[in-house]
Structure 1
Amino acid sequence: MAPSFYDPSVSTVCVMDASSHLGFNLVKRLLQRGCTVHAAVQDHGEEQFRRLSADSDKLKVFRSDPFDYHSIIDALKGCSGLFYNFEAPRDQPDYDEYMADVEVRAAHNVLEACAQTETIDKVVFTSSATAVVWREDRKSLDLDLDERHWSDVNLCRKFKLWHGMSKTVAEKTAWALAMDRGVNMVSINAGLLMDDPDLSIKTPYLRGAAEMYEDGVLVTVDLDFLVDAHIWVFEDISSYGRYLCFNRVINTHPDALTLARKLTPSAPPMPPSEEGERFIEQRISNKKLNKLMVDIQS
C-alpha cells in the first residue's frame, strides 16, 4: 500500500466548485472516507448537500465566488487540501474566446488564496485532456501524447478550440503561480466525462471531436474513475505534476456510433458503415496514472 498523504478521519479538505457534477460527487466520496469537507459553491447548488451528512460538523457549505478572493480564503480556512474544478458562470455557460480570461482569473485567485492559507498542504487542480492534445505536430510525434505535452494556444485560437485554449492557459497560470508561491499542486487532465447529466453534442470539450477521433486521442472517463483518480493523487505523497485521466479511447466506428447516440439520443439510427472494422491506433497514454493506481493497490 502506498503511503497515505493524510488521515481522512482528522482531515479537513475543501472542494470548489462543489456544485458541479464532479465536485458534488467528490464531496460525497470524501465524506464517506471520514473527511470533514468544506463544500464551496457559487450562487447555486446548496440544497443538494442537505442530506449528505448526518454529522453537521463534517460538512460545511460555503458561498465562494472564484472571483471574490476573500470568499475563497473563508472556504479554505483550516483546510489541509483543496480539490479545485472550474465551473463556468451560469450567465456564460458556453466557451468562447473570452472564457480563457475568465478561467485564468479564477485559477489565479484560487492559487493565490492557497498560497496565503498556511494549512494547505496540497492542491488537486482539475484540467482537461484538451490542454494536451491540440498540437501542430500531434500526427508526426514518435511518442504518444501524454502529460509532458501541452496544447498550442495559437492553434486553439486559430481553429476556435476555446475549451482547449481556456484549459491550457488556466492550467499554465495555475502551475506558474504554484511554483512561484511554493504551493504543492498536482493536476488531473480529464477526458470527456461520460456521466455528466449535461453532456450533449454542444459540450465544449467536443469541439474538434472528429479530428480527435481520427488522431486516436478522443478519450472519455467515467465519474467513479475520475473521482478515484482525484483522491489517489491527493492521498499519495509521491504524486507529482500532471496526470492524464481516462478509461476509454474512442477509436473504432462502433465506439464512435455509441458516443454519437449518447450525445444525440433523438437522432435516427445511422446505417451500417463500411468502416465497421476500422481501428484507429491510440496515440495518447495515461501510463503515469495507471502506475500510480498499481502502486496504491499493491
Structure 2
Amino acid sequence: MADGGKVVCVTGASGYIASWIVKLLLQRGYTVRATVRDPLDAKKTEHLLALEGAKERLKLFKADLMDEGSFEQAIQGCEAVFHTASPVTFTVTDYQVELIDPAVKGTLNVLGTCTKVSSVKRVVMTSSMAAVLFPVTPLGPDYLVDESCFSDPNVCSDKKLWYVVSKTLAEDEAWRFAKENGIDLVVINPGLVLGPLLQPSLNFSVSLIADLIKDKNDTVNKNSRLVDVRDVALAHIKAYETPSANGRYIIEGPIVTINDIEKIVHEFFPELNLVDKNEASEIIPVIYKLSVEKAKSLGIEFTPTEATLRDTILSLKEKCLV
C-alpha cells in the first residue's frame, strides 16, 4: 500500500493499459494526477471518474504529447510518473506525423518536464515488445529473447513497420535522455495485451478478438503471445514500488494458437459459426525462446491465458462491443 497517499502522475490515462494503472494505483491508496487530451470529453474520462477512490484522489489534467511543457502542471509535486501516452495505430497516411513524432517527441517532452520537477524520483515508461523483437539478426527457434534484445530501427524501417519504428525510437531516445539527465527510468515491454476493458471503446489489441468474434479477422491467424492487461498494469506499479527495479522488463505470455482462442470464443458464443480457419492454424514453429524471469522477480504472477481470453470476451459482451 502507498503510505500517506503518495502523489503520482499517469500520462495518456484514458488508454487501455493506463486506465488499469490508474485503477490499481487508486486501490493502493495513491493520489493520481492523470493527463488526457481533453478532460471534458466524457467518452474518454467517464470510466476513470467512476473508479473507486477517484472522487477523493484522482485529478484530470489536459496535456498533449506534441505540446511542449503541457505536462508540467500534472507532474508538479509527483514522486513518480507513469508515461503510457503514445499512439497505437497500424494504418497511417503520414507515419512521421501520426506515429513517430508523437511517440518520440512526446516521450522527450514528458522526460524533459521530469528534469525540472525535483519531486520526481522515478519514471516508469510503457514501451512494447515491438522495441525488442526486431534485432539486426533475425530471431530463430534457438534465439533467447530477454531484456538485452533491442529492435533495430533500420530493420523496422526497411520492413515499413512504422508502429514498431515509433516504439523503438521512443525507447532508444528515452534511455539516451535519461542517461544524460540522471533520470531513474524503468521501462515495461509488454506483448499483445488482452483482458477486460475499463474504457467504453475498443482499443487495437482487444479489437483483434472482437473482429474474430464478428468474423472479420485475419490478423490473429498465427500463433501469438499475449499478456493480461492487469499483469501489465501491476508490473508498472511494482517497477515503481521496488527500489531495486531497473532497466527493462519483458511482460509476455506463452504461445496461443488461433485454435485456443476459437475454443474459448465458442464457449461463450456457441451460436456463432466461426469460419473454419484450419488452414491458418497449422502449428507454426515457435520463432524464439523467451525469458520473463526478470518480470517474475518483481512479484508478477502471470494470469493464465485462458482466464485472460475469457475475461476479454466477457468484457466485450458486457460493453456490447460484439
**TM-score normalised by structure 1 residue count:** 0.80
Residue matched to 1:149: 149
Name whichever of 163-172 and 64-73 sits farther off: 64-73
| One-letter identity of the residue aligned with 1:158 | D
The answer to whether the 8 A contact 1:161-1:207 is kept is no
Residue matched to 2:22: 27
Residue matched to 1:3: none
CA shift for structure 1 position 187: 0.3
Q: In the comparison of the two structures, how many residue pairs are matched?
A: 277
Identity rate, percent? 30
The answer to whether the 8 A contact 1:253-1:279 is kept is no
The answer to whether the 8 A contact 2:81-2:122 is kept is yes
Correspondent of 1:14 among 6, 9, 31: 9
SS at match of 2:47: helix
SS at match of 1:269: coil
- Is the counterpart of residue 200 in structure 1 residue 199 in structure 2? no
| One-letter identity of the residue aligned with 2:246 | Y
CA shift for structure 1 position 141: 8.2
CA shift for structure 1 position 162: 1.3
Alpha-carbon distance between aligned partners in 1 of 2:63 and 2:143, rounded to the nearest angstrom? 41
Residue matched to 2:240: 234
- Is the counterpart of residue 254 in structure 1 residue 249 in structure 2? no
Residue 93 and residue 71 in structure 1: after superposition, are their counterparts in 2 closer, same or farther (change >3 A)?
A: farther
Name whichever of 239-248 and 136-145 sits farther off: 136-145
Name whichever of 280-289 and 48-57 sits farther off: 48-57
**TM-score normalised by structure 2 residue count:** 0.75
Residue 274 and residue 97 in structure 1: after superposition, are their counterparts in 2 closer, same or farther (change >3 A)?
A: closer
Alpha-carbon distance between aligned partners in 1 of 2:79 and 2:48, rounded to the nearest angstrom? 21
- Is the counterpart of residue 243 in structure 1 residue 242 in structure 2? no
The answer to whether the 8 A contact 2:142-2:289 is kept is no
**What does residue range 108-257 of structure 1 map to in structure 2 within 5 Å?**
108-140=108-140, 143-195=143-195, 197-198=202-203, 199-201=206-208, 213=223, 218-250=224-256, 252=257, 254-255=259-260
| One-letter identity of the residue aligned with 1:72 | F
Gaps of 5+ in 1: 1-5
- Is the counterpart of residue 40 in structure 1 residue 35 in structure 2? yes
The answer to whether the 8 A contact 1:185-1:241 is kept is yes
RMSD between aligned alpha carbons?
A: 3.4
Residue matched to 1:286: 292
SS at match of 2:73: helix
Deviations along 1:173-197, one digit per CA (max 9) or x if unpaired, are 1111111111111000011111363
Residue matched to 1:97: 95
Alpha-carbon distance between aligned partners in 1 of 2:170 and 2:229, rounded to the nearest angstrom? 23
Residue 294 and residue 155 in structure 1: after superposition, are their counterparts in 2 closer, same or farther (change >3 A)?
A: closer
CA shift for structure 1 position 202: 11
